[in-house]
A and B are shown apart, each in its own frame.
Chain A
Amino acid sequence: MMSADETTGGGGADGGFEDETGFNEEVVDLDLSCRPHSRILSTIRTIVTGLADQHGFPDDIIGQIEMAVDEACANVIRHAYTGVNLPNHQLYRIHLRIVLCNQAMTIHVIDNGIGLHNKPKGASNVEEYLQRGAKGGLGLHIMDRFMDEVSYQYPEDGGTHVIMKKYLPTAATS
């Protein structure tokens, strides 16, 4: 399943589509849903980097967004559905939503899996990652390090909803 909604006009359903002056702005709102298999990661990266490039992010920042999204999706693939028995195989999905407004790119990574009750603890730095025996936590550290905002929501009916935001450099410094 893949659907894209590209509109001109503010006031999107999740808010944040309008700038502070209330003027409409161009919004790209893309939804993707796919089976949680690692084979899809390169395709997801291609889509994310293409949109970030089109939106004017510089190459080094595009690389950071690419890596953060890849890590979030890889976490879903590796962990979210382990030991989970859902009534319908169609429920085993990664949902990706990418919203571009004139100041930022927001990426939502959503699953129906095991769910979390607290923010997962990544390594705070490479030293901590090494102290853990280089066996885990680096992906979460990369998400935190490379994105401007990372938050987690835990829907009552299960699953995890990760929201990552990266501001355009001009927006971040203004």
Chain B
Amino acid sequence: MKNYDLVIHEKNAADASQKVDVLGCLDSHTVVDFEKSMQNVLAGMPSHLILNLSQLTYISSAGISALMGLTHRLRKDNGELILLKPSEKVFRVFRTLGFTAIFKIVESDDALQDALASRLG
């Protein structure tokens, strides 16, 4: 696997949410590219940003800070950053450091649909 990659999906026409798969590691090196890419994604004004973290193998404090920045920015516009299916290793870091209480994390596609429905309902 490459050290880092993103798959940016088309914006969902129904709810204007946008999904991005984050692959590999999010550290001090890769976070620069990640933040630039997220700026471009947010320029499209998605209602909610869904980051699929199921293939994220590592996250550092730089990566967590980038997610915090996205959370703040989206919430300012009544949107939400949703972290979908984080890998066990990444979820353990979030839980140990207390970020599970801060980030919106969903564990399955069904839970994602419920979360989006409740946000939009």
- Mark A residues whose CB is within 8 Å of B: 38-39, 41-42, 45, 59-60, 63-64, 66-67, 70-71, 74, 77-78, 125-127, 130, 134-135, 138-139, 141-142, 145
B1-34 near A? 1/0 per residue, CB < 8 Å: 0010000000000000000000001011100000
B59 to chain A, nearest CB (A): 9
- Mark B residues whose CB is within 8 Å of A: 3, 25, 27-29, 58, 60-62, 64-65, 68-69, 72, 89, 92-93, 96-99, 102
Taking a contact as CB atoms under 8 Å apart, the answer to whether B102 and A135 are in contact is no
Looking at B28, B72, B92, B93, the one whose CB has the most chain A CB atoms below 10 A away is B28
- Residues of chain A within 8 A (CB-CB) of B69 are 134
4 pairs of A and B residues whose beta carbons are closest in the complex: A38-B29, A138-B61, A134-B68, A126-B98
- Residues of chain A within 8 A (CB-CB) of B29 are 38-39, 41-42
Other-chain residue from B25, B27, B97 in contact with A142 (beta carbon distance below 8 A): B97
Other-chain residue from A125, A127, A138 in contact with B65 (beta carbon distance below 8 A): A138
CB contact under 8 A between A41 and B65, given known A66-B58, A126-B99:
no
- Residues of chain B within 8 A (CB-CB) of A138 are 61, 64-65, 97
Other-chain residue from A42, A67, A70, A127 in contact with B3 (beta carbon distance below 8 A): A42
Give A101 to B59 CA distance when docked, in angstroms.
28
Give A127 to B102 CA distance when docked, in angstroms.
10
Q: Give 16 A-B contacts (CB < 8 Å), ordered by A residue.
A: A41-B60, A59-B89, A71-B61, A74-B60, A74-B62, A130-B68, A130-B102, A134-B65, A134-B72, A138-B61, A138-B65, A138-B97, A139-B60, A139-B62, A141-B97, A145-B96
- Residues of chain B within 8 A (CB-CB) of A145 are 96-97
Other-chain residue from B27, B68, B89, B92 in contact with A70 (beta carbon distance below 8 A): B27
Taking a contact as CB atoms under 8 Å apart, the answer to whether A142 and B92 are in contact is no
Q: Is the interface of B mostly helix, strand, loop or mixed?
A: helix
Other-chain residue from A38, A126, A127 in contact with B28 (beta carbon distance below 8 A): A38
Give A60 to B28 CA distance when docked, in angstroms.
21
- Residues of chain A within 8 A (CB-CB) of B25 are 42
Taking a contact as CB atoms under 8 Å apart, the answer to whether B97 and A63 are in contact is no
- Residues of chain A within 8 A (CB-CB) of B58 are 45, 66
Taking a contact as CB atoms under 8 Å apart, the answer to whether A125 and B27 are in contact is no
Give A145 to B95 CA distance when docked, in angstroms.
13
B67 to chain A, nearest CB (A): 9
Give A71 to B3 CA distance when docked, in angstroms.
18
Give A42 to B1 CA distance when docked, in angstroms.
13
Give A74 to B28 CA distance when docked, in angstroms.
7
Give A134 to B75 CA distance when docked, in angstroms.
15
Taking a contact as CB atoms under 8 Å apart, the answer to whether A125 and B98 are in contact is yes
